Amino acid sequence: MRGGAGPDRPRDAGRGGPVSRQVLSGVAVPGLDTGTVFDVTVEDGVFARFEATGPRRGGERELWPGYTETHAHVSLPANWDDTADDPRIIALQYLYHGVTHVVDMFGFPLVADAWREGAAASPWPYPEIVHCGYAVTALTDAAGRTGHGVEFPAPVYMIGVEADLDQALRANAARGGTFLKVMFTDGTEQPGSPVKFSRLSEEVLRFTARTAAERGITAVIDCNTLQETRWAYACGFRLFAHTVRDRTLGAAERAEFAGARFVSTLAGLRPMVMTGEEFLAEYGRESFALTQDPANLEFVRGIEKPYGIGFGCQETRTAALADMRRNALAALRDGSLLVGTDSGNTGAYHGYSFLSELGLLRGDDPTLDHALRHQATFTGRRYFDELRGDASPAGPLGTGACATYNLHAPGAPLTALPLATVVRGVPVDRPALARAIAGLRATAPNGKATP
Ligand SMILES: [Zn+2]
């Protein structure tokens, strides 16, 4: 998975035997040219030719690269009963929803062995995954607050001096991590809301950014507020795991962050403030019942008021989500938005919530459809490649690239499942995936990562 030698690289040609060839006739490929229809030839799982055949007339199926989920936690428990699904189920949940590349933002080593074994036994190619190992965060402070991240059931490293960071980087690399995730937020949602976590000092931020750069390791940082984002930017960070949530940035503030990119994570943060009816609507798309633990549906039927009310954060989280969405749409306009979810947070389901995120970003504005799909595929994929240490400029739809793509119905909502998903030339059989998921749920320990 390191150094660009991952499975996205086609296997060597010249294996002998007949060449398998498929031609997709009369498809639109909006990422290459929005006005033209193509015949697309795939040979031995690789794009061999994109031949323009005439102008688009409307009604053509659209071919896009597979979706890249840019902020996930594969090993964290998305279910309301705090159980984590078996990683073999999670892999299929992603495929089912057309997500072919996944960036894990910490914790993947907990399930790495099971994922690898599942992939080896699976008739479908698993999604590609790139991960950071574990995250680094602040030491406990004098007030007894821990750094953000230690509240999750996955290890994080608390760092105070350069030697701690060195140890964390070595340990993550030994586990297959290829980038660094830095937790840097005190948990403030909105101006005046409570400080929940200790935070890395400026000195630690600076040596963290410098050390990562010196070693050629891409670093992603987790900030909440504009002030945190400014400090991190000043120390050299350019990749932000969330959009700013304590205010809607004006043009001058956005201009402070030249060259920065921001991940949207609305789907992962919204469950805290949703009502029972909103949950039932959110879980109402057909693929929920076919891919997710049905106990979640029963659970949300019993929700009488949003959790945010009980936890005293309903208003601040609701306001934060509105700010985050507006900041994400501004990032969309200047091309710096990455589409993610924070799936693995409670109520944010792997695969399913990616399509929800697209819908939350789009709202009722159809003019955003093309740009959102572009960021969720091409831009997300370039980010994925950077994080795994592959600086190759080759795009996902070049001749010679692996044939990993979705076909979308023209005019279908962004939340709709693709018509077809193909991974490295292998078509994904959705009904068979659903049966495989049901089969895993029917066997001990009931489709869960741990009994
Ligand atoms: Zn996260």
Distance 66 CA to ligand 1 centre (A): 21
Position 323 pLDDT exceeds 80 = yes
Under the banding of pLDDT at 50, 70 and 90, the label for residue 337 is: very high
Mean pLDDT of the chain: 93
Distance 34 CA to ligand 1 centre (A): 34
Whether residue 218 lies inside any domain: the answer is yes
Distance 76 CA to ligand 1 centre (A): 10
Whether residue 28 lies inside any domain: the answer is no
Whether residue 269 lies inside any domain: the answer is yes
Higher-confidence residue of 95 and 10: namely 95
Q: Which residues surround ligand 1, an ion (CB under 5 A)?
A: 105, 342
- Mean pLDDT across the stretch 41-58? 96
pTM for this prediction: 0.95
Distance 269 CA to ligand 1 centre (A): 10
Predicted local distance difference test score (pLDDT) of residue 391: 80
Higher-confidence residue of 45 and 390: namely 45
Position 13 pLDDT exceeds 70 = no
Higher-confidence residue of 12 and 366: namely 366
- Mean pLDDT across the stretch 177-200? 93
pLDDT tens-digit readout, 344-384: 999 999 999 999 999 999 999 999 999 999 999 999 999 99
Distance 341 CA to ligand 1 centre (A): 8
Predicted local distance difference test score (pLDDT) of residue 106: 97
Whether residue 424 lies inside any domain: the answer is no
Under the banding of pLDDT at 50, 70 and 90, the label for residue 445 is: confident
Strand duo 62-65 + 135-138: pairing: unpaired
Whether residue 208 lies inside any domain: the answer is yes
Distance 342 CA to ligand 1 centre (A): 5
Distance 157 CA to ligand 1 centre (A): 15
- Mean pLDDT across the stretch 6-33? 76
Distance 104 CA to ligand 1 centre (A): 9
Whether residue 91 lies inside any domain: the answer is yes
pLDDT tens-digit readout, 390-401: 887 789 999 999
CATH code for the domain in which residue 139 is found: 3.20.20.140
Percent above pLDDT 70 for the chain: 96
Distance 183 CA to ligand 1 centre (A): 9
- The C-alpha atoms of residue 178 and residue 3 are separated, in whole angstroms, by 9
Distance 126 CA to ligand 1 centre (A): 22
Predicted local distance difference test score (pLDDT) of residue 26: 97
- Mean pLDDT across the stretch 276-303? 93
Residues spanned by the domain of 316: 67-391+430-441
Whether residue 124 lies inside any domain: the answer is yes
Distance 206 CA to ligand 1 centre (A): 22
Distance 345 CA to ligand 1 centre (A): 8
Distance 282 CA to ligand 1 centre (A): 20
Distance 70 CA to ligand 1 centre (A): 10
Percent above pLDDT 90 for the chain: 87
For 393, the token pair is 């400029």
Distance 404 CA to ligand 1 centre (A): 26
Whether residue 266 lies inside any domain: the answer is yes
Q: What is the number of domains present in the chain? A: 1
Distance 266 CA to ligand 1 centre (A): 11
Tokens 């980038």 correspond to 179
Distance 28 CA to ligand 1 centre (A): 34
